[in-house]
């Protein structure tokens, strides 16, 4: 197993177990995260964003693939749940993780679910990333 694959696997394992904030040493100084909702987040901004989303979403790892040991495709399923709005959707997402010099330089979130349009995905993530309504 290559060092880059081990790096990505470790990053992904920590990401799913809530340990993302402890991984700053594994990303480059110019690290960027992009999705259809947010653009050009640095690592600290990503940590804050993911902590907000994790309140309303559970992620289930599916697979990691790479053809060149530099670009990795990490597939996972997100269960979006918002108890006060009676909202529950599943979407399949692929994070494209780029590695250079044994550091993660960027992550791009891509929506893969054919039955859940990009617009619905954006709406769902925006919905669940807002603060919960109180009773």
Q: What is the domain range of residue 109?
A: 3-129
What is the residue-level pLDDT of the chain in tens, covering all 135 positions? 899 999 999 998 887 777 888 999 999 999 999 987 788 999 999 888 877 766 666 777 889 999 999 999 999 887 766 555 555 677 778 889 999 999 999 999 887 655 555 555 555 555 544 444 333
Instruction: Report the domain count for the chain.
Output: 1
Report yes or no on 56 lying in a domain. yes
E-state strands within 23-102: 27-34, 57-65, 71-82, 87-100
Please classify residue 66 by burial: count the beta carbons closer than 10 Å to its beta carbon, then call 0-12 exposed, 13-18 middle and 19+ buried: middle
CATH code: domain of residue 33 = 3.10.450.50
Residue 135 lies in a domain: no
Prediction pTM value: 0.78
């Amino acid at each position: 197993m290559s060092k880059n694959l081990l790096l990505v696997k470790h990053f992904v394992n920590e990401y799913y177990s809530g340990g993302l904030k402890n991984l700053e040493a594994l990303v480059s100084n110019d690290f960027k995260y992009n999705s259809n909702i947010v653009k050009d987040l640095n690592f600290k901004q990503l940590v804050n964003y993911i902590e907000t989303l994790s309140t309303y979403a559970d992620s289930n790892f599916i697979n990691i693939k790479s053809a060149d040991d530099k670009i990795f495709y990490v597939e996972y399923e997100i269960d979006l749940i918002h108890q006060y709005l009676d909202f529950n959707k599943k979407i399949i997402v692929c994070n494209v993780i780029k590695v250079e010099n044994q550091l993660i330089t960027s992550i791009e979130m891509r929506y893969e679910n054919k039955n859940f349009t990009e617009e619905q995905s954006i709406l769902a993530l925006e919905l669940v990333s807002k603060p919960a309504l109180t009773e």
